[in-house]
Copies of this chain bind each other. A is one copy, B any other.
């Protein structure tokens, strides 16, 4: 089959462009970035010549000289043994929003994940001039790699639980309050045994669990300790857990606070297969508001976090670090979305 010649040899260089314009390379360089040092007329001439000849600066050279890459590494901090990566639309939604936010500020997005990059993030991404800073999505079960990177002085921002104290800004929803509201909503709907489904080993999830407990306290209900189902945050794990549990205990709960929509949906599936009525017998609330939540039948109640806002915050906090300005963690809007899966009172 065909081969295609790569006629990249004739690549126009700044010096070449300068010659075309009859100026020096320095002038051309300045003209291209609209430096007021250069006469307007010259600027225009160079710029239009650049356009005409498809000139574009060699970013490798530029980065070498300026020591800035205008690239941000986005690292999906996946949990080792699960394959949350390819499965969870939420993570990828954040990536999409980050991409948008970064581009709006003139940065590009280098995608990576915790499996692939070497362990020494500071070295691999920053010292090697691959990127100017990094945004880590998810705190994972251990923040050691993040801490270590931050300790070595590189700009970092994390999506996670913003209440965690750390040497870097953390942006995230109000996990405590989000899950507290969700749980309170379930309890208000008459649930008496609400199952918490998630992995409290995780910073964010732990906060959600605390919210779950707080809601109970406020309602003066003692949550039985057997109502915390500690599982991997995948739909599969939730599905298996529910099946297992029902097989063993029967249906010993009447509400579920899921730590993600994927988890909630896994549980939902298991329940539906057993003809458990939703929300009649068991009311369910998820977390994240993935696009499919409202497509479910019944539509899934959930907690929505403003990821677009979050992405903008994260980028802003990262840029502040570039400039040596003070930074801070930030909580983004979090809102309980009530849909059919938890609406017991019928209209």
Residue numbers of A with Cβ under 8 A of B are 1-8, 11, 54, 56-61, 63-64, 69, 71, 74, 85-87, 89, 92-93, 95-97, 99-100, 103, 108-113, 116, 120, 123-124, 126-130, 150, 152-155, 167-168, 235, 239, 262, 265-266, 268-269, 272-273, 291-292, 294-297, 299, 321, 324-328
Contacts and interface: CB of A to CB of B under 8 A. Distances in A.
Given A60-B129, A92-B89, A321 B4 contact: yes
Contacts of A152: 7
A64 to B, nearest CB: 4
Given A8-B127, A108-B110, A292-B292, 6 more contacts: A2-B167, A4-B153, A5-B153, A60-B63, A89-B89, A92-B96
A264 to B, nearest CB: 10
Nearest to A126: B8
23 contacts: A1-B327, A1-B328, A3-B325, A4-B167, A6-B324, A7-B152, A56-B127, A58-B128, A59-B129, A59-B130, A61-B64, A71-B110, A86-B291, A99-B113, A100-B116, A108-B110, A109-B111, A109-B112, A235-B295, A265-B295, A269-B297, A272-B297, A292-B292
A321 B1 CA distance: 12
The count of identical subunits is 2
A9 to B, nearest CB: 10
Chain B CB count within 10 A is highest, among A89, A100, A112, for A89
A112 B126 contact: no
B89 A96 contact: no
A130 B110 contact: no
Contacts of A7: 152-153
A282 to B, nearest CB: 14
A69 B64 contact: no
A127 B61 CA distance: 12
A95 B317 CA distance: 26
Nearest to A273: B297
